[in-house]
Amino acid sequence: MIWNKEAECMSQDEKTALQSKRLVELVKYVYENVEFYRKRMDEYGIKPSDIKGIEDIDKLPYTTKDDLRDTYPFGLFAAPHSDIVRIHASSGTTGKATVVGYTQYDIDVWAECVARCMSMAGVTKDDIVQVAYGYGLFTGGLGAHYGAEKIGAMVVPMSTGNSKKLTTMMVDFGATAIACTPSYLLHLSEVLRDEGMLDKIKLKAAICGAEPWTEKMRSEIEQRLNISAHDIYGLSEIMGPGVACDCQYHEGLHICDDHFYPEIIDAKTLKPVKDGELGELVFTTLTKQGIPLIRYRTKDLTSITREKCKCGRTSARISRFKGRSDDMLIIRGVNVFPSQVEAALVEVKEVTPHYMMIVDRDNNLDTLEIQVEVDKDYYTDEIRGIESLQRKIAQVIQGALGISARIKLVGPNTLKRSEGKAVHVIDNRKLY
Ligand code: DLL
């Protein structure tokens, strides 16, 4: 394993034939097994037999995160529960998570895709791979874990958290590759430096993703640790990590496009844009059984090229991400929507729903401050209770977002009201 030449280097004609065959099967499968898709296709007047090949994909309607939320938790599952062997979830736009389910076949395809990605980073069965993404409902930990095992590497399932323990084990076990978020890896490089352990590590590659990062961050990581750092992309709705990754030439991320059919659309008109032009990435899962999605709008902004790469792979490549077409933030690797803060604040009677999120990076770790306006009556009457109120809000926010935030209480009518669309976020990290 795992240069899967048959899948990664097929000719355009072979690829189109395979994608067409898979799309036709998929449309029939979702029509027969998912009420949501059957109704939606009926609404659009589309029959499965209208889809004859990949060229017909734009006849099909888009799927969005709201569709997953509206059918929470299992409404879009196509396979019976007895065939689902794993669940993952990520943040929804408000309180509810978006839940995804995998059959054993899906888990196998996922491991294969992550293995392809790790192979692009040079990982082989002789490597020791430290996985420092979170394990649990988040797809990062288990996704990277199964991919590295598929290659046959020795996996160290560290998860995130205790940086000193992690760096000590990195040295003691002689880890040669690490999978974690890029900001966490920069942080680890500082811990290694401070502990005087930089010259004791055996790392040669990193597989970093789950959050936006820049070329500058990549060079910094590569120089500090003397390794090659690779950009791995994915999202739980489509699978998790392993949807795409960059090879040794770093000229875009190779998509596993025999499994995930990519389109780039204009986020406003929803019409396709030309190759090379910036737009929103849309995926159709060509082979998924658990929760197959048709034309899922990722909201991630990028461009695509279908030219063969110097490495020999013919898979379509996407450029480093340039932003999102919605307001989702990724803070300490966790997806956060401002609407979740709003929904949480409604529970606290002493404050108004006016808030401002200030995101920054301190020592390569993300910080979040939320400024919240105290309600007029409460502010004047019970001003001494403010510290306890801060704690109370911090708890509500932690519960809703899954990350901690520093709460700053401000007086009534302090936060600027905007005339147009409300601005709730100041992001000083400059990640795109
Ligand atoms: O972040 C899956 C993942 C885990 C990818 C580990 C890579 C490594 P979600 O929590 O569903 O899944 O978040 C998906 O994260 O739509 C992007 O906005 C962002 N994202 C993921 N990878 C990258 C990347 C995982 N390499 C959302 N560059 C996506 C920029 C990324 N953004």
Residues 322-345 pLDDT 10s: 999 999 999 999 999 999 999 999
Which residue, among 261, 228, 242, 253, has the nearest Cα to 319 in the 3D structure? 253
Query: Where do we find the tokens 């890029």?
Result: 182
- For residues 86-103, average pLDDT: 90
Q: 99 alpha carbon to ligand 1 midpoint, in Å?
A: 15
**What's the rounded Cα separation, in Å, for the pair 112 and 259?**
11
Query: Where do we find the tokens 């659309």?
Result: 265
Does the beta carbon of 234 lie inside 6 Å of ligand 1?
yes
Split at pLDDT 50, 70, 90, the class of 59 is very high
Closest ligand 1 atom, CA of 240?
A: 2
Cα 262 to its chain centre, rounded Å, is: 16
Note whether 229 and 206 are within 8 A (CB): yes
Closest ligand 1 atom, CA of 234?
A: 5
Identity of the amino acid at 174: G
Does the beta carbon of 236 lie inside 6 Å of ligand 1?
yes
- One fold for both 1-324 and 329-431? no
Domain boundaries, the chain: 1-324, 329-431
Note whether 212 and 330 are within 8 A (CB): yes
Which residue, among 307, 324, 303, has the nearest Cα to 316 in the 3D structure? 307
Q: Would you say residue 62 has pLDDT above 90?
A: yes
Tokens of residue 96, six digits: 């509810």
Helices (H), 195-320: 215-225
Indicate the DSSP class of residue 123. -
CATH architecture of 329-431: 2-Layer Sandwich (3.30)
Q: 235 alpha carbon to ligand 1 midpoint, in Å?
A: 5
pLDDT of residue 92: 78
The protein residue whose alpha carbon is closest to atom 27 in ligand 1 is 235
Does the beta carbon of 232 lie inside 6 Å of ligand 1?
yes
Q: 368 alpha carbon to ligand 1 midpoint, in Å?
A: 19
Tokens of residue 46, six digits: 């589309």
Helices (H), 34-103: 35-43, 65-70
- pLDDT tens by residue, 267-286: 999 999 999 999 999 999 99
**What's the rounded Cα separation, in Å, for the pair 333 and 232?**
13
- pLDDT tens by residue, 26-35: 999 999 999 9
Does the beta carbon of 300 lie inside 6 Å of ligand 1?
yes
Q: 166 alpha carbon to ligand 1 midpoint, in Å?
A: 22
Best mutation site among 120, 139, 215, 303 for ligand 1 pocket (most ligand atoms within 8 Å of CB): 139
Does the beta carbon of 134 lie inside 6 Å of ligand 1?
no
The protein residue whose alpha carbon is closest to atom 9 in ligand 1 is 235
Does the beta carbon of 298 lie inside 6 Å of ligand 1?
yes
What is the phi/psi pair of residue 398, to 5°?
Answer: -60, -40
Identity of the amino acid at 161: G
Q: Is 424 helix (H, G, I), strand (E, B) or coil?
A: coil
- For residues 188-209, average pLDDT: 97
Chain mean pLDDT for the chain? 95
Does the beta carbon of 252 lie inside 6 Å of ligand 1?
no
Does the beta carbon of 280 lie inside 6 Å of ligand 1?
no
Tokens of residue 186, six digits: 């920069």
- For residues 23-45, average pLDDT: 98
CATH architecture of 1-324: 3-Layer(aba) Sandwich (3.40)
Q: 90 alpha carbon to ligand 1 midpoint, in Å?
A: 10
pLDDT of residue 383: 63
Does the beta carbon of 141 lie inside 6 Å of ligand 1?
no
**What's the rounded Cα separation, in Å, for the pair 85 and 236?**
15
- For residues 50-54, average pLDDT: 98
pLDDT of residue 1: 47
Helices 182-194 and 163-173 pack at an angle, to 10 degrees, of 80
Does the beta carbon of 211 lie inside 6 Å of ligand 1?
yes
